Amino acid sequence: MDPRFVTAPEWATIVPMIVSLWAFAGTMVLFAFSLMLGHAVIPSLVGTHHLPARAASLRPFLYTLAVISFALAAFILLNLVANLLGPIYGIYPKVWL
């Protein structure tokens, strides 16, 4: 299965998808970081008295940030998959699925 040569119009559709892929990776890192901080690190540090007890008030904000970033990552991924199939089929005319 040999791919076709990628032309300028196809690159024009692929480049925004690469940006979306980076946005997906960034939102997943934000999701993981905020969930880890809110669910593991802050309670542990408050429990060992390395942080004051009022630091636990940041947990709802971090959970909200985690939910929002996960929803945004899911939205980006669904749009990425839906919009990527056309250019992929244009480059690879035969499908092995």
How is the chain split into domains, by residue range? 28-88
Q: What is the pLDDT of residue 7?
A: 82
CA 60, 63, 69, 70 torsion: positive or negative?
Answer: negative
Q: Would you state the torsion angle of the CA atoms of residues 14, 31, 64, 62, taken in this order, to the nearest 10 degrees? A: -140
Show the CA angle centred on residue 24, arms to residues 81 and 62, nearest 5°: 135
Q: How confident is the model at residue 1 (pLDDT cuts 50, 70, 90)?
A: low
Mean pLDDT of 73-97: 83
List pLDDT tens digits, range 43-74: 999 999 999 999 999 999 999 999 999 999 99
For residues 77 and 23, the answer to whether their CB atoms sit within 8 Å is no
The pTM is what?
0.82
Spatial neighbors of 28 by CB under 8 A, at least 6 apart, are 69, 73
Q: What is the pLDDT of residue 31?
A: 98
